Amino acid sequence: MLSDSSTGTLVQTPEARRRRFRGASWTRAWWPSVWPPALAFLVAVLAWQFLPGPMGLPVYILPTPTAIWATVVRHGPEFVSAIVLTSVTSFAGFAISAVLGVFGALVMAGWKPLERTLYPYAIILSTVPIISIAPLVVIWFGTGTLSILVITFIVGFFPIVANTLVGLQSASSTSVDLFRVYHASKLQMMLKLRFPTSLPFIMAALKVTATLAVIGTIVGEYVAGTGGGNGGLGYIVIVASNRLETAYVFAAAIAAALLGILFFALASLLSMRVLGSWHESAMKAEQ
Amino acid sequence: MALLEVAQSQFGPDPVVGDGRGEVLVRLHRVAHTFGNGTRALDDVSLDIRRGEFLSLVGPSGCGKSTIMRMIAGLTRPSEGEIRMVGAEGDRQDVSIVFQDATLLPWRTVLANVALPLELRHVSRREREAAARAAIELVGLRRQIRVLPRQLSGGMRMRVSIARALVSHPPLLLMDEPFGALDEITRQQLQNELLRIWSQERCTIVFVTHSVMEAVFLSTRIAVMTPSPGRIADVFNVPIPYPRSDDLRTAPEFSSQVAAVSRSLHRNMAGEASC
């Protein structure tokens, strides 16, 4: 066969070529799904920029992208601090609801009568529109950050409890039998079988509630936001729309949307980290 | 462990105790079972499982084979009669089970899956990983030790499942249609390996199957069961010596054994609309 040195180069070359080819095919595979929406975005922004003027639409109805950008620059620090405040509140509320939701579900699942009693309420409470109880929260906790945090928390908590409970029940009966044959304790069954089995359900719930948390915070800021340079994006939307500062409303709405996307991306990243490859591929195999 | 070694020395180097004369390990005495919905699953089953034997339960689906397994494993309590584990080491702690579904935990590597039974008994990490490595070696998966179950074929998953059942060196191994979902080639391969493992480990195996050929190839003894309600109709000793190889599958003595067991199955099914 070949000598060591020549094997080295021969082995490297096809490997390198394959790597390059894989890179090329990756772009080729993604390009068709990237450029149509990108083009649509460009066309929409250009139309948005150049059509309202000739059509006679006043700037308080539909401000152009450049007008929105100008507003962002003008409000600079206030706008940035609003983004930071909304992000921090959303994240804190989301984190608290995730931790307490999962923990609450574990406690409920650990004692069957408790679960049977509370599970229907977790479902019911997770379907209550947050906007309908937000004013109540303000009555109880006053205007300000605490109320906003509570509203964000409520939005996330019940879906996470409900999903985690379903996940904790989803271990297959044979795997439960297996643990029973080996005399697993209730705690072992929970930590080594039921909790890991529920992780895909928990992660799915976190992805949904991550975006819900941003909505919850904005709703909270609508009803409980305070001003004085201390309001979040929701507060800006309310105030700016009252003043007919439409460009600023747009800026806040776009920022809120981007925040929601960012939160979703973070939750997806967490999900990929936690589940690794075992669950995604298991789902593919089932399909 | 020490007790197990004592037990092994009792029947010496030859693992064949298929004549039904070995020491009784589990005794089922007039066991009957009725499910919650009133279905009579088992009726008056008496059976001795003897140390070192390879006992197969053969019968059509719904004859209560699996119910017997679940009872021996302690997963189901018989509604009548009793099941006694004989001998000091024969308590339920030392029963292992293999299901038709490999039942591996998808988030655990092969090593961690196999080590699970010991982990549940709080065996130290070093000890259980050493035992798991040995068991994995026994089923021929040394190279897949760090691999996740999804990366394995069906046959390999079943090997992992068998390794997990063997990791604690159980005196009694229950196998509930373990090869039922595998293709014929893999199935025969695993049958050969199971016989090798059985003679190496000197354990007692109770094996549920609906394949007469599988039962004859593997077993020292075969109990033929009939459905609704499940009863033991006949018990056959299989006088074919071990080690048994693939050549046996085409041998005349094998066919005549298969024929005898099949006749018993059909005779006892007469008059039953089972399918």
Residue B70 with chain A: CB contacts under 8 Å: 177
Mutant choice from B66, B107, B158, B208 vs A, greatest count of A C-beta within 10 A? B107
Q: Is the pLDDT of residue A159 over 50?
A: yes
| Residue B84: predicted pLDDT | 84
Nearest CA in chain A to B148: A278
Q: Is the pLDDT of residue A285 over 60?
A: no
Put simply, the answer to whether A278 touches B148 (Cβ < 8 Å) is yes
Residue A276 with chain B: CB contacts under 8 Å: 107
Residue A173 with chain B: CB contacts under 8 Å: none
| Residue A110: predicted pLDDT | 87
pLDDT digits (tens, 9 = 90+) for A76-102: 888 999 999 999 999 999 999 999 999
Give φ, ψ of A130 to 5 degrees.
-60, -35
pLDDT digits (tens, 9 = 90+) for A49-85: 888 778 878 878 888 888 889 888 998 888 999 999 9
Mutant choice from A178, A199, A279 vs B, greatest count of B C-beta within 10 A? A178
Q: Is the pLDDT of residue A249 over 50?
A: yes
Q: B75: distance to nearest CA of chain A, Å?
A: 7
Q: A274: distance to nearest CA of chain B, Å?
A: 10
| Residue A130: predicted pLDDT | 87
| Residue A228: predicted pLDDT | 55
Put simply, the answer to whether A178 touches B99 (Cβ < 8 Å) is yes
Pick the closest to residue A200 from A160, A169, A167 (CA basis).
Answer: A167
Put simply, the answer to whether A182 touches B117 (Cβ < 8 Å) is yes
Give the domain ranges of chain A: 2-50, 65-286
Nearest CA in chain B to A177: B75
Q: Does A141 touch chain B (CB under 8 A)?
A: no
Put simply, the answer to whether B105 touches A282 (Cβ < 8 Å) is no
Region A160-184: what's the mean pLDDT? 92
| Residue B26: predicted pLDDT | 87
Looking at CATH, the fold of the domain delimited by A65-286 is given as MetI-like fold (1.10.3720)
Coil, strand, or helix at residue B113?
A: helix
pLDDT digits (tens, 9 = 90+) for A273-284: 888 766 554 444
Residue B117 with chain A: CB contacts under 8 Å: 182
| Residue A222: predicted pLDDT | 87
Put simply, the answer to whether A181 touches B73 (Cβ < 8 Å) is yes
Q: Is the pLDDT of residue A226 over 50?
A: yes
Per cent of chain A over pLDDT 70 is 85
Put simply, the answer to whether B75 touches A196 (Cβ < 8 Å) is no
pLDDT-based confidence at residue A286 (cuts at 50, 70, 90): very low
Parallel/antiparallel/unpaired status of strands B231-237 and B221-226: antiparallel
Put simply, the answer to whether B75 touches A184 (Cβ < 8 Å) is no
Domains of chain B: 20-89+172-249 (3.40.50.300), 104-170 (no CATH)
Put simply, the answer to whether B150 touches A285 (Cβ < 8 Å) is yes
Give CA–CA dist B198/B267, Å, rounded.
32
Burial B207-245 (b: 16+ CB within 10 A, else e): bbbbbbbbbbbbbbbbbbbbbbbbbbbbebebebebebe
| Residue A279: predicted pLDDT | 59
Put simply, the answer to whether A196 touches B101 (Cβ < 8 Å) is no
Instruction: Compute CA distances A204 → A167, A209, A263, A280, whole Å.
Output: 10, 9, 13, 12
Mutant choice from A175, A177, A180, A181 vs B, greatest count of B C-beta within 10 A? A181
Return the beta strands (E) in B108-211 as ranges.
Answer: 172-176, 204-209
pTM for this prediction: 0.79
Region A12-18: what's the mean pLDDT? 46
Residue B102 with chain A: CB contacts under 8 Å: none
Spatial contact of A255 and A233, defined as CB atoms under 8 Å apart: yes
Put simply, the answer to whether B116 touches A188 (Cβ < 8 Å) is no
ipTM above 0.95 for this complex: no
Average pLDDT, chain A: 83
Nearest CA in chain A to B72: A181
Q: Which of A18-27, A50-59, A212-221, A263-272 has the lowest mean pLDDT?
A: A18-27
Reading the block at residue B164, the tokens are 């997990």
Q: Does A276 touch chain B (CB under 8 A)?
A: yes
Regions in chain B scoring below 70 on pLDDT: 1-21, 87-93, 270-275
Instruction: Compute CA distances B239 → B10, B12, B41, B219, whole Å.
Output: 21, 19, 31, 9
Give φ, ψ of A184 to 5 degrees.
-65, 140
Q: B268: distance to nearest CA of chain A, Å?
A: 31
| Residue B60: predicted pLDDT | 84
pLDDT digits (tens, 9 = 90+) for A111-137: 889 888 888 888 888 888 888 988 898
Q: Is the dihedral of CA A14, A16, A22, A24 positive or negative?
A: negative
Residue from the list B70, B75, B150 with its beta carbon closest to the beta carbon of A282: B150
Residue A177 with chain B: CB contacts under 8 Å: 70, 73, 75, 97, 99
Pick the closest to residue B228 from B74, B13, B40 (CA basis).
Answer: B40
Q: Does A96 touch chain B (CB under 8 A)?
A: no
Put simply, the answer to whether B120 touches A183 (Cβ < 8 Å) is yes
Residue A175 with chain B: CB contacts under 8 Å: 103, 105
CB atoms within 10 A of CB A272: 13
Per cent of chain B over pLDDT 70 is 87
Put simply, the answer to whether B70 touches A276 (Cβ < 8 Å) is no
